[in-house]
Every structure is written in structure tokens, then in C-alpha cells.
Homo-oligomer: A and B are copies of this chain.
Amino acid sequence: MQITQLDLPPEMIDLGVGQPDLALLPLDLIRQAATHRLGFDDPAPLQYGTEQGNAYFRRALAAFLSEGYGGAVDPRHLFVTAGATYGLDLICTYFARPGDTVFVEEPTYFLALRIFADRRLNVVSLPIDHRGLVPEALEEKLASVRPAFVYTVPTFHNPSGTTLSAHRREQLVRLSRRHGFLIVADEVYHLLNYTLKPPPPLAFFDTGGTVLSMGSFSKILAPGIRLGWIQAAPSLLGRLARGGLLLSSGGMNPFTSTIVESALELGLLAAHVERLKQAYHRRATALAEALGRQLPAWAAFQPPAGGFFIWLALPPDMDAEALQPAARANNVNFQPGFRFSAGGALKSFLRLSFVYYAEDRLREGAERLAAVLKNVGRK
């Protein structure tokens, strides 16, 4: 009788899990917000919602984001989604035709690759470096093909942890206007910054209605309420809102929107995000320090500045997937790098997350992983 998506044996430490820790999901906050909201004698949140999303919720969200992003967000530039995945799905329906090409980063979020494959989009990979997507490489690809959109994770990248510099954000937007493509920016880790204050989301760099920035409450509140947003020019959002899907269903998740509206109005969310940042920062430090102490010198990674992940590079001739049986036997696991590559490359990388487990377990996981690497690799 399964409730949650994951059902891991208790002895396993799966550092591949990119989900929040059940123990950090704020049940009390949701209780308080729901009680507040249900105290009103207003059945409107139970009705079909306006397609773009409840205007009062969008106003409260805009105020929250303006604070968090350090720049003014206009509620008219927000569209309420049932989480970033459904935002991306909607964008695929209304801004890409099957057979179209989309550009992704190499590495990129592995399940976005699945979503694009399910939609029969052609995927072309672009290289990233320590400052994120390389604009020159994008420009070179644009000479031969114009994509429907570029899918990018600009901040605390999944899986690599890198953040696109402000200068490159400007370059990317300039290219999108010149070559006529959209930028679909998956910005779900933006507010989870620990040691680096990132440049504002790509929507802030938009000069001509070519950018859709997706955010999510899954990373900063709770995945189960299925709530997120797209920040973009009203001309783009209107195409989503006036499609058959939204006309038929009404706006996405009106009921949970109003509960989160209460959480925002009561100031509960800002306080929760602060607590999360502290907890995740401690976990990031614990995992990075333990890996630094215990991994062989030939395994390299950057300490995380935000987000969920550490991207570990093994020597190029090693295959991370081939290590999984030994890892599983030692009750530790990870995401092998090839999953994050459109062409199945990146075999010598692996993704670790530091948010699902508390510090002790992370240290234990690092130790188990180090034992596997020492044992199997570089004999």
C-alpha cells in the first residue's frame, strides 16, 4: 500500500534521491495555513479557477518572489502551475510541435529528457562550463538549426550545481531575440542559495517576451500540494491560458493555491525557506566535507553553493553505472551520469543529493560510497 513515490529499504542510503526529506516537510505550516483559509466563508477556491491563477494568490506570490529574488515581480507576469513539470508539459503543448528541436544542457535534468522524448521532440545538447551554458557553443549550433526553445537550469544546476553568470544571461536572451527561439528556464532551486547569491532569474533579463522562468513550491514547501508558477511576459502566458486544456480545467490547483496564499500572507513561508536554507546548507557542508575527507583524490567535485546536488567526476575511463551493483551491495546508491546526457555520455560522472538525509546519514553514505570507489576503482 504505497503513498509516496519512493519506497526505499531503511538500510539503503540512496544519495541519488532528488526529493526533500519527509522530516522537513512542514505539516504544521500546512495545518495553520489550511485552518486559516478554511476559516473564511468563501467557496470560491472550490470552483473552477481563473485560467492564469487566482489573482489574490498571484499578488501574494509576486510580493514573496520580489523579496526572495531581490527585484520586483509583477503578478500579471505570473501563471500558476501544478508544479514545474506541469509547467514544462504545458509549454511543450503550446510552444513546440512534435518533431521540433529543443536544445538542452549537457548534463541536464534527466527526467526533462524523458518528457521531451515522450513528446517526440528532437534534443540537441549544449556544453556547459563552471559558469553554466556556453553562449558561443549555442551560437554555433544556431547557425544550423533554430530550436523551439532552449531548456536550461540556470541556477544551482541539476545535476552540476553551476550557476549561469549575469553576463551570460544577457547573452542568452540576446540570442533568443536575434534567432527567434524561447528560453525555458527551470529555476526551481533559485531560492535555495547557501553561499552564493545568484543573479536574478532569467525572466528578469527578458527584453522581448522570449523567456519563461519556471518556479515550484515542491522545493521550498511541499511537492504533494502540486503548485508552481511560470514567470513570463503576458503575451506568452496568454497562449497557455487560452489553450483548450486550461479552458476545460480552469486554472491549475485553485484550492491548494489559496492554502499557500494563507501561508504567504501569514509570513509562514518566508520563515520556512530560511529554516530550509540553514538545514540544507548544513547538509551540503556535511556531505561535501565527508566526501572531501574520504573519497580518493581522483574523484573531483565542487562544494555546492545552493540547490540539491553534488556532481562527482570520476576519471574519464571509469563507468559510474558499473559501480552500482557494488554500491547497492554496500547499501549506498547514486544517479549515474549517463542519465543526464541526451546521448548517453557522461558515464564517468555521478549525481549525489544532500537534501533527503540528515547529516549523520550523509556522512555514513559518503563513507560507504568511498569504500566502493576505493575498492573497485583504480586497482
List A residues at the B interface (Cβ < 8 Å). Answer: 1-7, 19-20, 22-23, 25-27, 30-31, 34-35, 38, 41-51, 54-56, 59, 82-83, 85-86, 89, 93-94, 97-99, 111-120, 218, 222-226, 243-245, 247-256
Tell me whether A4 and B255 are in contact (CB under 8 A).
Answer: no
Tell me whether B47 and A2 are in contact (CB under 8 A).
Answer: no
In the assembled complex, the CB of A117 is this many whole angstroms from the nearest CB of chain B, namely: 7
10 closest A-B pairs by CB: A114-B244, A46-B222, A111-B248, A85-B249, A115-B244, A224-B254, A5-B48, A25-B46, A1-B55, A25-B43
Residue with the greatest number of chain B CB neighbours at <10 A, chosen from A26, A27, A46, A97: A46
In the assembled complex, the CB of A70 is this many whole angstroms from the nearest CB of chain B, namely: 26
Tell me whether A245 and B48 are in contact (CB under 8 A).
Answer: no
Supposing A248-B112, A248-B114 touch, asked if A3 and B256 sit within 8 A by C-beta, the answer is: no
Q: In the complex, which residues of chain B have a beta carbon less than 8 angstroms from the beta carbon of A43?
A: 22-23, 25, 27
Compute how far the CA of A27 lies from the CA of B44 in the bound complex, rounded to whole angstroms.
9
Contact partner, A118, options B3, B31, B118, B245, Cβ 8 Å:
B245
In the assembled complex, the CB of A82 is this many whole angstroms from the nearest CB of chain B, namely: 6
Q: Nearest B residue to A113 by beta-carbon distance?
A: B244
One complex includes copies of this chain to the number of 2
Tell me whether B47 and A249 are in contact (CB under 8 A).
Answer: no
Tell me whether B46 and A38 are in contact (CB under 8 A).
Answer: no
Compute how far the CA of A222 lies from the CA of B251 in the bound complex, rounded to whole angstroms.
13
Q: Nearest B residue to A54 by beta-carbon distance?
A: B3
In the assembled complex, the CB of A275 is this many whole angstroms from the nearest CB of chain B, namely: 15
Contact partner, A50, options B3, B45, B59, Cβ 8 Å:
B3
Tell me whether B47 and A5 are in contact (CB under 8 A).
Answer: yes
Tell me whether A48 and B6 are in contact (CB under 8 A).
Answer: yes
In the assembled complex, the CB of A137 is this many whole angstroms from the nearest CB of chain B, namely: 25
Compute how far the CA of A43 lies from the CA of B22 in the bound complex, rounded to whole angstroms.
6
Supposing A224-B255, A226-B252, A244-B111 touch, asked if A44 and B118 sit within 8 A by C-beta, the answer is: no
Tell me whether B114 and A97 are in contact (CB under 8 A).
Answer: no
In the assembled complex, the CB of A341 is this many whole angstroms from the nearest CB of chain B, namely: 16
Contact partner, A250, options B22, B42, B47, B223, Cβ 8 Å:
B223
Compute how far the CA of A245 lies from the CA of B21 in the bound complex, rounded to whole angstroms.
22
Contact partner, A27, options B46, B85, B98, B117, Cβ 8 Å:
B46
Q: In the complex, which residues of chain B have a beta carbon less than 8 angstroms from the beta carbon of A86?
A: 245, 249
Q: In the complex, which residues of chain B have a beta carbon less than 8 angstroms from the beta carbon of A44?
A: 3-4, 22, 224
Tell me whether B49 and A115 are in contact (CB under 8 A).
Answer: no
Q: In the complex, which residues of chain B have a beta carbon less than 8 angstroms from the beta carbon of A245?
A: 85-86, 89, 115, 118
Q: In the complex, which residues of chain B have a beta carbon less than 8 angstroms from the beta carbon of A117?
A: 244
Tell me whether B1 and A25 are in contact (CB under 8 A).
Answer: no
Q: In the complex, which residues of chain B have a beta carbon less than 8 angstroms from the beta carbon of A51?
A: 5
Tell me whether A255 and B243 are in contact (CB under 8 A).
Answer: no
